[in-house]
Amino acid sequence: MTLPLNNAQRYVPEAINGDFRGKHIVTVEQFAPDDMDSLFKSAARMRTRVQRGDRGLVDLCLGKVMATLFFEASTRTDMSFQAAMLRLGGEVISTSGGVQFSSVYKGENLADTVRAVGCYADVVVLRHPEVRSSYEAAYYLDRLNERLGTHPVVVSGGDGVGEHPTQALLDLFTIADIKGSLDNLKITLVGDLLYGRTVHSLAKLIALHGAVNTTLAFVSPEMLKMPPAVMSFLKSRDIAVYETQQLDEVIGDSDVIYWTRIQEERFPLRADYEAIADQFIVTPATMARASDKAILMHPLPRKHEMGTQADHDVLDADQRSVYFQQMANGMYMRMALLAKVLGAER
């Protein structure tokens, strides 16, 4: 017997196809190379305009309202989205005191919560522990739109161990911005590739961009390898991928080293986490084996996978460490995306 698909599974995200306006953003699979390049150009323009104090920015989303619904902890995604909307002249709302004071804690489900928020906001940024929760939100917002004739959109701020599409967009923008091109790069993703949603989205986005002669290397413990679904997607896009547990096989000729935190909170068994928690730690000694031209990225937050505070201090001063630029680019990328989905910029 075949079980019927649930609503979340039924929702099929719309390809951007050159037009962001009114589209839910739930997966990187919606983006073609031209869509990415258009966002990258816009993010660079946003950065220039913010840095020169362009007051015209506040006209772009004047009168628009963004709601944040964060069911998981966040500093960067939550605050960069809020800052992005405020800098574009829009308003930001959230439940007073966070989602723990929303009606979710009276037992309301995501479908109803997101529709309530969709009645008050033009865009809902959702972070939720369930994979494909943003698909479910998109599906129910569309049902609401059919009844009310309004058009709020959802933008995923990360769905459990699934995807983090806006993180991948800012990551790829950062690589393109620093390297000048996405062609001819060896991009190495290290650490928790199983539970790390940022690397799922980034690997897929790189493959979708179709850069010439760019390859991926994945370095992780056996139990934290990239999920089969992501590997099949990459295979279907014909990008060369090398998997190993030995960083030394690939670090010397990597152009981009993207380090990740082992996602302690996602492990079903504490013993499994403890078995590999200390296996992939980047320190100044690690970076001594990397090329002078390599860049070190990390989505942050970081814990002991970057060693001690003394290691952090040395790594932070290394010109190859670009994770703070990456973090800053998050706001510019989210400004670009908000302006586009809200129809303020093409």
Active site residues: 76-77, 106, 127, 164
DSSP, residue by residue, 50-94: HHTT-GGGGGTTTT-EEEEEESS--SHHHHHHHHHHHHTT-EEE-
Among residues 301, 313, 324, 325, which is the contact residue for ligand CP, using CB under 6 A?
A: 301
Contact 257, 296 (CB under 8 A): yes
Is 165 one of the binding residues for ligand CP (CB under 6 A)? no
Provide Rg for the chain, Cα atoms. Answer: 20
Interacting span for ligand CP (CB under 6 A) from 25-33, 49-57, 74-82, 289-297: 74-82
State in angstroms the smallest separation of the CB of 107 from ligand CP: 26
How many CA atoms, within 13 angstroms, populate the side-chain half-sphere of residue 187? Answer: 30
The pairing of strands 91-93 and 123-128 is unpaired
Is 74 one of the binding residues for ligand CP (CB under 6 A)? yes
User: Residue 76 or 340: which CB sits closer to ligand CP?
Assistant: 76
Is 167 one of the binding residues for ligand CP (CB under 6 A)? yes
User: Residue 144 or 194: which CB sits closer to ligand CP?
Assistant: 194
Measured distance CA(324)–CA(341) in Å, rounded: 26
Among residues 300, 306, 315, 344, which is the contact residue for ligand CP, using CB under 6 A?
A: 300
Strand partners, 156: 126
Is 28 one of the binding residues for ligand CP (CB under 6 A)? no
Is 77 one of the binding residues for ligand CP (CB under 6 A)? yes
In degrees, rounded to 5, the angle at the alpha carbon of residue 162 between the alpha carbons of residues 161 and 164 is 100
Interacting span for ligand CP (CB under 6 A) from 30-38, 92-100, 299-307, 315-323: 299-307
User: Residue 121 or 125: which CB sits closer to ligand CP?
Assistant: 125
Is 252 one of the binding residues for ligand CP (CB under 6 A)? no
Contact 28, 208 (CB under 8 A): yes
State in angstroms the smallest separation of the CB of 77 from ligand CP: 3
User: Residue 248 or 316: which CB sits closer to ligand CP?
Assistant: 316
Is 63 one of the binding residues for ligand CP (CB under 6 A)? no
Measured distance CA(42)–CA(5) in Å, rounded: 38
Provide the 3-class DSSP secondary structure of residue 123.
Answer: strand
Would you tell me the crossing angle of helices 323-341 and 165-179 to the nearest 10 degrees?
Answer: 120
User: Residue 127 or 340: which CB sits closer to ligand CP?
Assistant: 127
Is 150 one of the binding residues for ligand CP (CB under 6 A)? no
User: Residue 93 or 327: which CB sits closer to ligand CP?
Assistant: 327
Strand order across the beta sheet in which 153-159 lies: 91-93, 65-70, 123-128, 153-159
Among residues 24, 47, 64, 76, which is the contact residue for ligand CP, using CB under 6 A?
A: 76
Q: Where does residue 327 rank: exposed (0-12), middle (13-18), buried (19+ CB within 10 A)?
A: middle
State in angstroms the smallest separation of the CB of 294 from ligand CP: 21
Among residues 13, 221, 299, 307, which is the contact residue for ligand CP, using CB under 6 A?
A: 299
User: Residue 167 or 214: which CB sits closer to ligand CP?
Assistant: 167
In degrees, rounded to 5, the angle at the alpha carbon of residue 165 between the alpha carbons of residues 48 and 51 is 10
Interacting span for ligand CP (CB under 6 A) from 23-31, 71-79, 171-179, 205-213: 71-79
> Which residues of the chain form contacts with ligand CP (CB under 6 A)?
74-77, 158, 167, 299-301
